[in-house]
């Protein structure tokens, strides 16, 4: 870094900065003040809806299902959020004899965008650019694969917004 900054500070050649190089002020700030310039986190807005109303809605009491999350959030985290909202927590008094509680959300839930099955490792940014391709909120539909029998929770057992955000990164 020092050599690069020293070379740039002594260079008056018009081609000393190419478009792919960081700006001179960013290099000087990083080098002299030992600070990295702040960059805003990019968020993506999306809507979660049950596929053909086969599962309960996760919309808030006012009917709003619009969410925001970091653009690098993966679909499997969104599935974990959905699972947390629509399924009752495991009952310690009645353990699952079939071992269905050990399944990860991406193993028993699916997400669809524009009619396409979404891979669990796909990011929101990739979905927006490669699948959604239009303006506005990305609309995602969730449905069960049938590998697990879902236990619907009592409304008092649904996690709060803060608890969900802490575990999944999805912001209401």
Where residue 15 falls among pLDDT bands split at 50, 70, 90? very low
pTM metric for this prediction: 0.66
The domains of the chain, with CATH numbers, are: 2-32 (no CATH), 43-92+99-168 (3.10.20.90)
**Main-chain phi, psi angles of 2, to 5 degrees:** -65, -40
- What percentage of residues in the chain have a pLDDT greater than 90? 35
Residue with tokens 């081609």: 15
CA distance 119 to 87: 22
Query: In this predicted model, what pLDDT tens digit does every residue of 55-81 receive, in sequence order?
Result: 888 888 788 889 999 999 999 999 999
CA 154 to chain CA centroid, Å, is 26
């Amino acid at each position: 870094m020092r050599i690069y900054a020293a070379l740039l500070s002594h260079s008056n050649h018009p081609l000393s900065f190419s478009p792919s190089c960081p700006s001179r002020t960013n290099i000087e700030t990083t080098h002299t003040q030992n600070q990295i310039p702040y960059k805003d986190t990019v968020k993506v807005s999306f809507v979660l809806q049950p596929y053909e109303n086969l599962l309960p809605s996760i919309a808030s009491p006012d009917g709003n299902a619009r969410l925001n999350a970091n653009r690098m959030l993966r679909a499997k985290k969104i599935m974990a959020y959905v699972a947390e909202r629509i399924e009752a927590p495991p009952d310690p008094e009645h353990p699952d004899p079939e071992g269905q509680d050990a399944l990860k959300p991406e193993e028993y839930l699916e997400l669809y965008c524009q009619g396409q099955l979404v891979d669990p490792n796909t990011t929101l940014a990739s979905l927006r650019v490669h699948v959604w391709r239009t303006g506005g909120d990305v609309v995602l539909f969730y449905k069960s694969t049938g590998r697990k029998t879902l236990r619907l929770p009592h409304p008092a057992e649904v996690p709060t917004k803060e608890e969900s955000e802490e575990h999944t990164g999805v912001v209401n």
